[in-house]
Amino acid sequence: MPKAKKKFSQNFLQDSGVIEDIVAGCDISCSSRVVEVGPGYGALTKSLLRNTAHVTAIEIDKDAISYLRANFSGTQLSLVEGDFLDYDLKLLSEPYKLIGNLPYHISTPILFHIDRHSDYILNATLMLQREVCDRLTAAP
């Protein structure tokens, strides 16, 4: 497993049982259109591709992009290179399911970005650090 880069607040899913549980909870089928936020080195992507025909993944890390290009089929995976926060989700003009293991330091901006561009999001399955969840559910 490549080393996580601090500048991207990366944390990689490694436990295959946890990954399978996450994908099972995403409610995807072979016809689902899936968008993955920050696939990293593809641990979740691999499982998603076993459960649906196509995944669009948005990744900023050049090393991860090179790895994904070398290890995943171009017909099953569309890779968007760049910052998720700069990507106009409205370009995905068909309904899709959004999935991601979000980095701690930009979880809140990502959530606001998703909210502003939620027109076609059928559902979102997002892994967040406990501290972020505690903030989201805290009383005003």
Choose between 1 and 28: higher pLDDT: 28
Tell whether the model's pLDDT for residue 135 goes beyond 70: yes
Tell whether the model's pLDDT for residue 10 goes beyond 60: no
Cα dihedral: 29, 33, 37, 41 (round 10): 60
Q: CA-to-CA distance for 12 and 1, rounded, in angstroms?
A: 9
- Going by pLDDT thresholds of 50, 70 and 90, the confidence category of residue 57 is very high
Per domain, the residue ranges of the chain are 29-137
Task: Please state the pTM of the whole predicted model.
Answer: 0.85
Tokens read off for 109? 């901006």
Q: State residue 9's pLDDT score.
A: 53
Q: State residue 4's pLDDT score.
A: 53
Q: CA-to-CA distance for 88 and 91, rounded, in angstroms?
A: 6
Lowest mean pLDDT among 28-32, 45-49, 72-76, 95-99: 72-76
Q: CA-to-CA distance for 100 and 83, rounded, in angstroms?
A: 14
Q: Compute the half-sphere exposure of residue 88: CA atoms within 13 Å on the CB side of its CA.
A: 3
DSSP state of 45: H
CATH number of 29-137: 3.40.50.150
